[in-house]
A and B are shown apart, each in its own frame.
Chain A
Amino acid sequence: MTDFLLELLSEEIPARMQGKARADLEKLFADQLAAAGLKAQSLQTWSTPRRLALIARGLPETTEAVSEELKGPPADAPDAAVDGFLRKAGLTRDALETRDVKGRATLFAVINKPGRATADVLADAIPAIIRAFPWPKSMRWGHASQTTESLRWVRPLQGIIALLGGYVVPCEVDGLVAGNTTVGHRFHHKGAVTISGVEDYASTLRAAHVIVDHDERASIIRDGAAQAASDAGFVLVEDEGLVVENAGLTEWPVPLLGRYDPAFLEVPPEVIQLTTRINQKYFVVRDAAGALAPAFVCTANIAAHDGGQAIVAGNEKVLAARLSDARFFWELDQKKTLEQHSEKLKAIIFHEKLGTVADKVERVAKLARWLCEEGIVKGDPALAEQAARLCKADLVTEMVGEFPELQGLMGGYYAAKEGLHPQVAAAIRDHYKPVGQGDDVPTAPVTVAVSLADKLDSLACFFSISELPTGSKDPFALRRSAIAVSNLIFSNHLRCSVHSMIAAAVAPAMKIPAVSILAQEFEASASQFAGRPIAMTFDQNVAVTLVGFFIDRLKVQQREAGVRHDLIDAVFALGGEDDLVRLLARVHALQAFVETGEGGNLLAGYKRAANILKKEDWGSANAPTGAPETGGGIAQTGEEDPLSMVEDPAVAQAVAEMAQPGSGLPYDPEPAELALIEALDKAEPLAALAIHGEDFEGAMAALAVLRAPIDAFFDDVTVNDADPAKRAARLGLLARFRAAVHRVADFSKIEG
């Protein structure tokens, strides 16, 4: 057994790429070993800004010898075929064996591959790894770049150490020859550093002021920054992302504390934190009370002769300039009200076909007011409209121009400074939320109204111009918007019809010139197909597409919560259900039910009934009298079921009683038949009542009672009786059973 060290020395590798580069190096190396039949006992990778390193321990000295057998053509095959085989096997004719295969002399090649020295394997593997390295962006450089075929690397590759058991593995890539030397710290160490092997690599580099283990550098930064803060009486605001980034920017990290003028603290803390973190990669600190304190921690890459005084002074100056800029923006922005700022939105294009941001704001304001007026959101309509009118104004402020990620937040600050109603300021601040999975979902009513209106408007507008997400492309984040709408509805228990909400958002979109042109084209092409069964207007078409999109997103979102998509379909297919809160409650109840034995059996009974009806092509024209399905209509989905449309439970019960079957039968029913009729008589009104009261568990329980009678019916009763009256009555009964089940969900959509 032996061990192996690989170091790839490079000009500075971007910090953000180093983590994946380590993983890629390990994988590529392991793959190369595996292809040669080798495996190391352990692999370890390290990175610094200037190097990627890999240590493999417990490597065999050679690969296993293998013997491979190839079957060739028959011995009497034409020469061309035999020659081809010889080329493939790499042998000469006399080295072939002839064996009997099913009575025919057939040529065989036996190729014995002796074990290969691991050093030879590595000599091939190293250049292959370097050439195949999957950097997110790579480049050419130097003399070799005369051709675009030259080696590509993330930044110029400067050296290779390849030591197997202390000996250099002879290999080269694009003129770069592997050896046993590297360099130390860029400023603390002059000249080459010679490495003798795996064991002294890290310690030799440490002597040359390079800590090669990224985790060690990270802990030096983590602990050192916390220590520097506490030495000054502050508490470090922990930021693991910054720890990793600074570890990727240094070979010899030295955290240093600097200060800034407390007068800058009048600028919102988020602004200070952002400019400090993003632009300068500094940590921020808090005082004992938890407020942002006028100090920061930067991470130098040298142990300076003066203990870092000059470095701190320089960094303080840079940060002061940044904060001056931020304060300048903060003050300048406040010289105008948000309303005045929002004037500029008239000049900003929201989308080339959808007009300006000012146009969008106008639609959102009306929609937000409507949501409150309709009582869907319990907020003050006037405040919702006001907040919506101002919610995008900060996009044209200097601060958001400089830090786009502060959109919303700055508007909230400026609104508060202006003395606007706190609900308005909060709505402006939070109306982009929820932005992604796990983001807070607003609950303040005015905020909910603006957030909902903003997203519904975007969805309606982009759907109106057919800018739908496709595959991995969703440039306008419409999927995220749809999920955000669902989350707003669920978190706030908003009771409303998705159809009507979408219709309210689509209507104003129709007034956009580009959309009305599309609508005219749509109507014109629709008139060419006059006489088709379903004629939808353009806006109806948009709304229907959008509702479908919502339901699809709901399925994806709910899948993560363990909700079955087919059950959502089963409830949605009823047609009348587009109150998302109620829909999801029904789906939850349905899922609990179908996953019980009873539910499963009822489903099986349903499928059997539905199959028979389908096979018999059972329309309801031939339904027997008495059953609720006999309205002459086609009660295939339950949507048209007269009972399900009845809102008043008393009426529902009366209708059910009127429909008392049994007496209407022109023959004596069999016991199982009668039992099913009686069970339906009981179950139907109970289920209807429960649904009316949104007690979906109760509705399922009422239907569960049908399981034994339907099973017995199938066991004991012949549906296809020779007597046409019996046959019709029994098919009618099955149809009635199907309709009863459809009252909770379209079971035909349920899988399994």
Chain B
Amino acid sequence: MTEHSLSFQDMILTLHSFWSRHGCLILQPYDMPMGAGTFHTATTLRALGPDPWNAAFVQPCRRPTDGRYGENPNRLQHYYQYQVILKPSPGDIQQLYLDSLTAIGVDPLLHDIRFVEDDWESPTLGAWGLGWEVWCDGMEVTQFTYFQQMGGFDCKPVAGELTYGLERLAMYIQGKDSVYDLDFNGNGVTYGDVFLENEKQMSAWNFEVANTESLFDAFRKAVAECENCLDNKLPIPAYEQAIQASHVFNLLQARGVISVAERQAYMGRVRDLAKGSCQAWMEKNGWAA
């Protein structure tokens, strides 16, 4: 499946059109650095409360510790997730997902698609769910989760979340061994042309250059600002500060300045911010826990 396979951007366009046809709002990425698409308010906050919500979007994810200076063909400190959130989870959600794979060129009678147990938990969001990692010929291509709790609150109703690893899927569909060789646009531009230099520079900054004093300061300020927002009953800005604190914490981790002993305390702090924001969101909307 290499000759006529979709380019990276066509894959995204195909998924947009597929999920748009199936009633999803097509949203744009959240404009803040975050470790996973789940942090997008369209997932975290919308997973709470009784209102139906169906959305799909691409979210750039930053995982500073996964940076490899562009030298590892599979690991990146910045990559894309394709997120779909369907609330309440429809009865045919598995079939919808499989149809979306067919749409981007995966033939399920040629390739071995499997739903393998994988319980999801985000300690920093106070969230968990049950589901699977979806395997295609032994490779994990999607995380499939039924959210049970978010920010420490029961999800009523439960949302289904699909998180496609876009680069992995594209490498698979295009038959490429390195992410940097991916065909980005079907017209000569590779993923490496777009992102290789970014990976090199950002890895250097994440691991070696970032001013740790400024980062510690940024963490403290985010915490304080989150509390300020919570005091003023503004859950969305409060939650943005939780996102910010979480990302700064990840940067500090990459700089290797957080000891094993302190790690739990930092994660607990971020969790408190996220939970506090979720609680304020529930209260603002008048939803009972």
Whether, in the assembled complex, B186 has its beta carbon less than 8 Å from a beta carbon of chain A, the answer is no
In B142-164, the 8 Å CB interface with A consists of 146, 148, 154-158, 160
Interface string of B110-135 (1 = CB under 8 A from A): 11111111010000000001111000
In the complex, what's the smallest C-beta–C-beta distance from B152 to chain A, in angstroms? Answer: 14
In the complex, what's the smallest C-beta–C-beta distance from B20 to chain A, in angstroms? Answer: 22
Are B88 and A145 in contact, with the CB atoms below 8 A? yes
Given contacts A16-B117, A187-B109, A280-B138, contact A141 B146 (CB under 8 A): yes
Whether, in the assembled complex, A310 has its beta carbon less than 8 Å from a beta carbon of chain B, the answer is yes
Residue of B nearest to A309 (CB): B110
Whether, in the assembled complex, A291 has its beta carbon less than 8 Å from a beta carbon of chain B, the answer is no
Whether, in the assembled complex, A249 has its beta carbon less than 8 Å from a beta carbon of chain B, the answer is yes
Residue of B nearest to A250 (CB): B114
Chain A residues whose CB sits within 8 angstroms of the CB of B23 once the complex forms: none
Residue of A nearest to B75 (CB): A325
In the complex, what's the smallest C-beta–C-beta distance from A401 to chain B, in angstroms? Answer: 12
Are A302 and B115 in contact, with the CB atoms below 8 A? no
Are B158 and A310 in contact, with the CB atoms below 8 A? no
Chain B residues whose CB sits within 8 angstroms of the CB of A304 once the complex forms: 109-112
Whether, in the assembled complex, B188 has its beta carbon less than 8 Å from a beta carbon of chain A, the answer is no
**Which among B50, B73, B157 has the greatest number of chain A C-beta atoms within 10 A?**
B157
Interface string of B242-278 (1 = CB under 8 A from A): 0000000000000000011100000000000000000
Whether, in the assembled complex, B172 has its beta carbon less than 8 Å from a beta carbon of chain A, the answer is yes
Are B130 and A137 in contact, with the CB atoms below 8 A? yes
User: Which of A143, A319, A328 contacts B138, CB < 8 Å?
Assistant: A319
**Which among B91, B132, B148 has the greatest number of chain A C-beta atoms within 10 A?**
B148
Whether, in the assembled complex, B44 has its beta carbon less than 8 Å from a beta carbon of chain A, the answer is no
Whether, in the assembled complex, B137 has its beta carbon less than 8 Å from a beta carbon of chain A, the answer is yes
Chain A residues whose CB sits within 8 angstroms of the CB of B72 once the complex forms: 328
Are A188 and B88 in contact, with the CB atoms below 8 A? no
Are B260 and A141 in contact, with the CB atoms below 8 A? no
User: Which of A138, A146, A317, A348 contacts B156, CB < 8 Å?
Assistant: A146
Whether, in the assembled complex, A698 has its beta carbon less than 8 Å from a beta carbon of chain B, the answer is no
Are A148 and B109 in contact, with the CB atoms below 8 A? no
User: Which of B73, B112, B129 contacts A301, CB < 8 Å?
Assistant: B112
Are A145 and B155 in contact, with the CB atoms below 8 A? yes
At the interface with chain B, which of A7-15, A456-464, A578-586, A725-733?
A7-15
Are B261 and A145 in contact, with the CB atoms below 8 A? no
Given contacts A137-B119, A155-B130, A310-B110, contact A145 B158 (CB under 8 A): yes
Chain A residues whose CB sits within 8 angstroms of the CB of B50 once the complex forms: 146
Chain A residues whose CB sits within 8 angstroms of the CB of B160 once the complex forms: 141
Interface string of A581-596 (1 = CB under 8 A from B): 0000000000000000
User: Which of A12, A137, A143, A305 contacts B157, CB < 8 Å?
Assistant: A143
Residue of A nearest to B176 (CB): A317
Give the contact-size bracket for chain B: 35 or more
Residue of A nearest to B140 (CB): A318
Are B158 and A317 in contact, with the CB atoms below 8 A? no
Whether, in the assembled complex, B136 has its beta carbon less than 8 Å from a beta carbon of chain A, the answer is yes
Whether, in the assembled complex, A635 has its beta carbon less than 8 Å from a beta carbon of chain B, the answer is no
Whether, in the assembled complex, A352 has its beta carbon less than 8 Å from a beta carbon of chain B, the answer is yes
Whether, in the assembled complex, A23 has its beta carbon less than 8 Å from a beta carbon of chain B, the answer is no
Are B259 and A187 in contact, with the CB atoms below 8 A? no
Are A249 and B114 in contact, with the CB atoms below 8 A? yes
In A140-174, the 8 Å CB interface with B consists of 140-148, 154-156, 158
Whether, in the assembled complex, A321 has its beta carbon less than 8 Å from a beta carbon of chain B, the answer is yes
Whether, in the assembled complex, B177 has its beta carbon less than 8 Å from a beta carbon of chain A, the answer is yes
Are A315 and B138 in contact, with the CB atoms below 8 A? yes
Given contacts A137-B119, A141-B158, contact A321 B74 (CB under 8 A): yes
Chain A residues whose CB sits within 8 angstroms of the CB of B111 once the complex forms: 304, 310-311, 314
In the complex, what's the smallest C-beta–C-beta distance from A132 to chain B, in angstroms? Answer: 19
Whether, in the assembled complex, A535 has its beta carbon less than 8 Å from a beta carbon of chain B, the answer is no
Given contacts A16-B117, A139-B158, contact A315 B137 (CB under 8 A): yes
In the complex, what's the smallest C-beta–C-beta distance from B10 to chain A, in angstroms? Answer: 21
Are B259 and A347 in contact, with the CB atoms below 8 A? yes
Chain A residues whose CB sits within 8 angstroms of the CB of B89 once the complex forms: 141-142, 145, 156
User: Which of B90, B112, B148, B261 contacts A349, CB < 8 Å?
Assistant: B261
In the complex, what's the smallest C-beta–C-beta distance from A144 to chain B, in angstroms? Answer: 8
Are B108 and A145 in contact, with the CB atoms below 8 A? no
Are A302 and B117 in contact, with the CB atoms below 8 A? no
Are B110 and A142 in contact, with the CB atoms below 8 A? no
Whether, in the assembled complex, A408 has its beta carbon less than 8 Å from a beta carbon of chain B, the answer is no
Given contacts A49-B115, A348-B260, contact A142 B138 (CB under 8 A): no
Residue of B nearest to A147 (CB): B156
In the complex, what's the smallest C-beta–C-beta distance from B63 to chain A, in angstroms? Answer: 16
Chain A residues whose CB sits within 8 angstroms of the CB of B259 once the complex forms: 347, 349
Interface string of A318-346 (1 = CB under 8 A from B): 11010001001000000000000000000
User: Which of B139, B156, B177 contacts A314, CB < 8 Å?
Assistant: B139
The docked-state distance in angstroms from the alpha carbon of A280 to that of B116 is 11
In the complex, what's the smallest C-beta–C-beta distance from B141 to chain A, in angstroms? Answer: 10
Whether, in the assembled complex, A502 has its beta carbon less than 8 Å from a beta carbon of chain B, the answer is no
Interface string of B167-186 (1 = CB under 8 A from A): 00000100001000000000
User: Which of A139, A311, A321 contacts B148, CB < 8 Å?
Assistant: A139
Are B260 and A15 in contact, with the CB atoms below 8 A? no
Are A11 and B115 in contact, with the CB atoms below 8 A? yes
Whether, in the assembled complex, A300 has its beta carbon less than 8 Å from a beta carbon of chain B, the answer is yes
Whether, in the assembled complex, B17 has its beta carbon less than 8 Å from a beta carbon of chain A, the answer is no
The docked-state distance in angstroms from the alpha carbon of A317 to that of B2 is 15
In the complex, what's the smallest C-beta–C-beta distance from A208 to chain B, in angstroms? Answer: 14
Interface string of B75-98 (1 = CB under 8 A from A): 000000000000011110010001
**Which among A141, A302, A306, A314 has the greatest number of chain B C-beta atoms within 10 A?**
A141
In B176-209, the 8 Å CB interface with A consists of 177
Whether, in the assembled complex, A298 has its beta carbon less than 8 Å from a beta carbon of chain B, the answer is yes
Chain B residues whose CB sits within 8 angstroms of the CB of A16 once the complex forms: 117
Are A349 and B110 in contact, with the CB atoms below 8 A? no
Residue of A nearest to B116 (CB): A249
The docked-state distance in angstroms from the alpha carbon of A147 to that of B108 is 36
Chain A residues whose CB sits within 8 angstroms of the CB of B94 once the complex forms: 11
**Which among B50, B108, B115, B116 has the greatest number of chain A C-beta atoms within 10 A?**
B115
The docked-state distance in angstroms from the alpha carbon of A187 to that of B114 is 11
**Which among B1, B50, B259 has the greatest number of chain A C-beta atoms within 10 A?**
B259
Chain B residues whose CB sits within 8 angstroms of the CB of A139 once the complex forms: 129-130, 146, 148, 158
In the complex, what's the smallest C-beta–C-beta distance from A241 to chain B, in angstroms? Answer: 15
Chain A residues whose CB sits within 8 angstroms of the CB of B172 once the complex forms: 314
In the complex, what's the smallest C-beta–C-beta distance from B118 to chain A, in angstroms? Answer: 9
Are B88 and A302 in contact, with the CB atoms below 8 A? no
The docked-state distance in angstroms from the alpha carbon of A137 to that of B109 is 32
User: Which of A142, A147, A317 contacts B90, CB < 8 Å?
Assistant: A142
The docked-state distance in angstroms from the alpha carbon of A743 to that of B111 is 77
The docked-state distance in angstroms from the alpha carbon of A143 to that of B92 is 12
Chain B residues whose CB sits within 8 angstroms of the CB of A300 once the complex forms: 112
Are B137 and A318 in contact, with the CB atoms below 8 A? yes
User: Which of B114, B116, B260 contacts A347, CB < 8 Å?
Assistant: B260
In the complex, what's the smallest C-beta–C-beta distance from A160 to chain B, in angstroms? Answer: 14
Chain A residues whose CB sits within 8 angstroms of the CB of B138 once the complex forms: 280, 282, 298, 314-315, 318-319
Chain B residues whose CB sits within 8 angstroms of the CB of A49 once the complex forms: 115
The docked-state distance in angstroms from the alpha carbon of A15 to that of B119 is 13
Chain B residues whose CB sits within 8 angstroms of the CB of A305 once the complex forms: 109-110
Can you identify 14 A-B contacts, CB atoms within 8 angstroms? Answer: A137-B130, A141-B89, A142-B91, A145-B158, A146-B156, A147-B156, A301-B113, A310-B1, A311-B110, A311-B111, A314-B138, A317-B139, A318-B139, A321-B73
| Top 10 closest pairs, chain A to chain B, by CB | A314-B137, A14-B117, A12-B115, A315-B138, A145-B158, A145-B157, A300-B112, A318-B138, A139-B130, A187-B108
| Other A-B pairs beyond A137-B130, A187-B108, 19, CB < 8 Å | A12-B117, A49-B115, A139-B129, A140-B158, A142-B91, A146-B156, A154-B130, A186-B98, A186-B113, A188-B109, A249-B116, A301-B112, A301-B113, A302-B112, A314-B111, A314-B138, A321-B73, A325-B74, A347-B260
Q: Which residues of B contact A (CB under 8 A)?
A: 1, 50, 72-74, 88-91, 94, 98, 108-117, 119, 129-132, 136-139, 146, 148, 154-158, 160, 172, 177, 259-261
